[in-house]
Structure 1
Amino acid sequence: MHPDLLTRVLSLLPSPPGATRPELAQFYELLRDYPQRGGKGLRSALLLAAARAHGVRSGTPAWEGAQWLAAALELFQNWVLIHDDIEDDSEERRGRPALHRLHGVPLALNAGDALHAYMWAAVHRSGVRGAPEEFLAMVHRTAEGQHLDLCWVERCEWALSEADYLEMVRLKTAHYTVVVPLRLGALAAGQTPDERFTAAGLRLGAAFQIRDDVLNLRGDAAHYGKEIGGDLLEGKRTLIVLHWLATAPADQRALFLAQMALPRPDKDPAAIAQIHRWLLQSGSVEHAQARADAEAHEGLSLLQEALAQAPDPSAARELVGTLRGLATREA
């Protein structure tokens, strides 16, 4: 996240020196924890790039509104990550123990709820017409996708298709990662968002998530920000795993399903490491990367069409370049 945007986010949150008792000072620290851990700020950067492409200039009231929307998007990202880490029983976030690992589930959950409220405060400050509706739709779509993901884990459901996976990630990831930042950028300029932003964003967001799944298996832990192989420990349904399961030898499939039926603390580290190796050797990672490439190609083509008449062609090209890097990243 850009330092100026972090300052804006933190300006909305209460500060520990202002607390009337030590328990509240701790609460205020919890609210600031995930935002201050850094993060790439990808979604807020996309929103601001989209605003520039639509003609919004620095120093104008429209730019101020876009900045508050970017802050709201970062607050959304952070409260969702707190809840996601609890629901997935994750160990790490951005190179440090997840918030619930440090302070317990009740306190972490409460901090996430409070950040959700501050997100709406930032949306209100933006004064951008149509922004509350976009955020409401984003919360709904993301929750739907998370519900699918959690249901499959809860029910030990592995008889899933590539189409099932894509539906889940387009709901859970693509809307808030790409679709909504593009639409909010147009709204900040006082323009009606091009409907092609949705189709483009769904494809680019899916490409982003598939790449993330790949990085979870073979990324650089220093840059990735989460534990490598964590998706296996959490029982995540990924395109890689679903493709591998379709042709895996019976003994490998049996070991995998037996491990996935266990809660995270009971999984055998040696068995998980073996499954990890099988996945890397199977060709399923390459299959997933090919699908990500196809999704990215379609999404970028649609996005370029939607931005063909953008008020600021240079900023539009920069936006497309940013999304190309996001959807085809290797680290």
Structure 2
Amino acid sequence: MTPTPPEVRKALQEGLLAHLRHEDPAYEALLQDYPQRGGKMLRGLLVYYSGLAHGAGQEAALLLATALELFQNWVLIHDDIEDASEERRGRPALHRLYPMPLALNAGDALHAEMWGLLLEGLEKGLWDERVLREFHQVVRRTAYGQHLDLSWTLAGRLDLTPEDYLRMVTHKAAYYTAVAPLRLGALLAGQNPPPAYEEGGLKLGVAFQIVDDVLNLEGDEAYGKELAGDLYEGKRTLILLRFLQGASPEERGRAETLLRLPREEKPAGEVRWLWERLLASGAVAWAKAEARRLWQEGYDRLRPHLEALPNPEARGRLEDILSALVERRA
């Protein structure tokens, strides 16, 4: 019987915490902080069910899913520092609880543990070096996407288009959210991933990030981040760029003046004005429709390959999680 998502989440969290034990309790507390907070673990679930659906064993699938969750956690620590975020998963971000250098170092430590776990699976014969190469691709693409995102904010650039956003998100979030889990599942079963996994998976991953941007504005208790935090951080989201394209010169000028201010200098009243304008302008509704369109296009590209997978029960779970990328259920 294929384990349910809650059962897999529990096993993933237990595996993460076990892998991050340390003889120094203060150090262990830092390493385990984000993993202890839980979360939906969508990417870990995708790797797990993708592996099983392709014919891999449960031990290998769970260990590899744990490795991708390690990736997710160290990237979030670094991302929160770089964005000066206030919250993560409903609690203060790690660098708000501890001195920033300690939080940064904890992220580095989780990064190292990710590679250690991948080497462990290689040594046990659970996968081959292609899995490590895929993780290298995940790290390098995510880093470039983050570079684009940060450089736009640091330079105060607002001459961007929705196409610029899509390019950035394709690297920063889309690849490791959907493409890598599908490819890793095939690699875990000793297969060569079809090109459709990247072509379709990128669309699903972009749709996921657009929905994430929507949730930041609309609010969701399960979202676990500060409401309108993207505006305080000056994120160049698809929603914001769409609004700026259609705004009057007066509104655009007011919004750009606000967005160029450092987070700590942004007046709460002005942030609220921009937040209300984004919701009222139709930009959020348009972004939701774009997410649904991209997800459908991506899934249509994947469907023939998913239908051919040898484990139908795991395939059903995998398809449910792929749907959760835009519906946010699992």
User: What TM-score, normalized to structure 2?
Assistant: 0.93
CA root-mean-square deviation: 1.4
Question: What are the superposed Cα offsets for residues 163-204 of structure 1, whole Å, 9 maximum, x if unpaired?
Answer: 110011110001111111111111111211122111111000
Query: How much has 1:225 moved relative to structure 2?
Result: 0.4
Matched, 1:3 2:2: no
SS, match of residue 158 in structure 2: coil
Q: Which residue of 1 aligns with 2:141?
A: 141
Q: Measure, in 2, the Cα distance between the counterparts of 1:315 and 1:10.
A: 25
Q: Measure, in 2, the Cα distance between the counterparts of 1:285 and 1:330.
A: 20
Matched, 1:78 2:77: no
Query: How much has 1:207 moved relative to structure 2?
Result: 0.3
Matched, 1:316 2:309: no
Q: Measure, in 1, the Cα distance between the counterparts of 2:329 and 2:47.
A: 23
Contact 1:46/1:181 (8 A) holds in 2: yes
Q: Which amino acid aligns with 1:13?
A: L
Q: Measure, in 1, the Cα distance between the counterparts of 2:228 and 2:255.
A: 14
Contact 1:68/1:125 (8 A) holds in 2: no
Contact 1:67/1:126 (8 A) holds in 2: no
Q: Which residue of 2 aligns with 1:256?
A: 255
Q: Which amino acid aligns with 2:278?
A: L
For residues 1-331 of structure 1, what are the structure 2 equivalents within 5 Å?
A: 2-15=9-22, 18-19=23-24, 25-56=25-56, 62-127=57-122, 128-129=127-128, 130-220=130-220, 222-329=221-328
Query: How much has 1:318 moved relative to structure 2?
Result: 2.9
Q: Measure, in 2, the Cα distance between the counterparts of 1:31 and 1:322.
A: 27
* 1:325–1:5 distance in 2 versus 1, CA, 3 Å: closer
Q: Which amino acid aligns with 1:280?
A: L
Q: Measure, in 1, the Cα distance between the counterparts of 2:92 and 2:313.
A: 41
Query: How much has 1:330 moved relative to structure 2?
Result: 8.5
Question: What are the superposed Cα offsets for residues 242-297 of structure 1, whole Å, 9 maximum, x if unpaired?
Answer: 01101112222111111111110110000100110001000111111111111001
Q: Measure, in 2, the Cα distance between the counterparts of 1:152 and 1:264.
A: 15
SS, match of residue 262 in structure 1: coil
Larger displacement relative to structure 2 (144-153 or 211-220): 211-220
Question: What are the superposed Cα offsets for residues 18-38 of structure 1, whole Å, 9 maximum, x if unpaired?
Answer: 23xxxxx31221001000011
Q: Measure, in 1, the Cα distance between the counterparts of 2:281 and 2:85.
A: 26
Contact 1:179/1:198 (8 A) holds in 2: yes
Query: How much has 1:6 moved relative to structure 2?
Result: 1.4
Q: Measure, in 2, the Cα distance between the counterparts of 1:176 and 1:244.
A: 28
Q: Measure, in 2, the Cα distance between the counterparts of 1:242 and 1:273.
A: 17
Query: How much has 1:321 moved relative to structure 2?
Result: 2.6
Query: How much has 1:313 moved relative to structure 2?
Result: 3.0
Q: Measure, in 2, the Cα distance between the counterparts of 1:278 and 1:237.
A: 16
Q: Measure, in 2, the Cα distance between the counterparts of 1:164 and 1:78.
A: 26
Q: Measure, in 1, the Cα distance between the counterparts of 2:29 and 2:318.
A: 34
Query: How much has 1:327 moved relative to structure 2?
Result: 2.4
Aligned length: 318
User: What TM-score, normalized to structure 1?
Assistant: 0.93
Q: Measure, in 2, the Cα distance between the counterparts of 1:3 and 1:327.
A: 23
5+ long unaligned stretches in structure 2: 1-7
Q: Measure, in 2, the Cα distance between the counterparts of 1:330 and 1:119.
A: 27
Q: Which amino acid aligns with 1:215?
A: L
5+ long unaligned stretches in structure 1: 20-24, 57-61
Q: Which amino acid aligns with 2:229?
A: G
